[in-house]
Homo-oligomer: A and B are copies of this chain.
Amino acid sequence: MLDFEKTGGLIPAIAQDFETGEVLMLAYMNQDAWEHTLATGRATYFSRSRGTLWVKGETSGNVQQVKEIRIDCDADTVLLKIEQVGRAACHTGHISCFHRVVSKDGQYNVVGKPVFDPEEVYNK
């Protein structure tokens, strides 16, 4: 159903909070990650840095429960509407990975505060 070949085996997957509509993160899926997500109801990506399947939250406990899955018109992007356990999707502790607003001159400012301390979550 999805066209993994167009982009060399990986397609982008957007995670959006199913209640607030906030866009939380973007990661990538290969065929295995897609099938694992469908089968388990937990958002599963492919980690480009580690080269392995990545069940989001397996380290932090902040898993993503999938409420709805959508695909786009040319079947090369996934949109997951999810419930984010622990509120924050970002490894920085921010709710969204998209917590930097860019101004017209190309500078950026961080908006919002982290809701957890990454040191406590990842090094406990």
Contacts and interface: CB of A to CB of B under 8 A. Distances in A.
A79 B68 CA distance: 21
Q: Which residue of A74, A79, A91 has the most chain B CB atoms within 10 A of its CB atom?
A: A79
Interface residues of A, number: 33
Contact of A94 (B14, B73, B77): B73
Contacts of A77: 12, 26, 97-98
Counted per complex, copies of this chain come to 2
A1 B108 contact: yes
A69 B27 CA distance: 19
Interface of A: 1, 12, 14, 16, 20-23, 25-26, 38, 68-74, 77, 79, 90-92, 94, 97-102, 104, 106, 108
